[in-house]
Amino acid sequence: MANFKDLDAVVSLADQMGSDAEGPVVLMNVFTVDSKDEDALIVAWSHDADFMKVQPGYISTQMHKGIAGSSTFINYAVWESVEAFRDAFMHPEFQSRINQYPDSAIASSHLFKKVAVPGHCVGS
């Protein structure tokens, strides 16, 4: 089972899931795992992704792996709303899947919104 560690020491993922923020949100999952458990992490994450991609409000996801022998992974998932993500995350079937992650896995998750930065980035 994955261990969970909040990415933000002040605002937890649980706090964020209680938010009524409008518009699309991006879930960032940072996973660290022992190198011997990398394949098991990918299998467990893929199983979760299969469930999530058929949930209402799901838009897309992409897994990334650190280079140069890193055992750090980042999953970037886009959802139509906090409510859609919360409903999928709290679904009993998804909650039961968390037990399939290797014991060495540490997951740090946080929800984000696009930020408009003139001349560089568009907002939501």
Residue type, 116: A
**Residue 78 contacts residue 60 (beta carbons within 8 Å):** yes
Domain ranges across the chain? 3-7+36-112
pTM of the model: 0.89
pLDDT at position 43: 95
Question: Which residue in 100, 96, 85, 99 sits closest to 29, CA to CA?
Answer: 85
- Both tokens of residue 82? 């906090």
User: Right CATH number for 3-7+36-112 from 3.30.70.100, 3.40.50.410, 3.20.20.70, 1.10.10.10?
Assistant: 3.30.70.100
**Per-residue pLDDT averaged across 70-96, rounded?**
93
The CA-to-CA distance between both ends of the chain, in Å, stands at 34
- Both tokens of residue 53? 């991609």
pLDDT digits (tens, 9 = 90+) for 21-34: 888 999 999 999 99
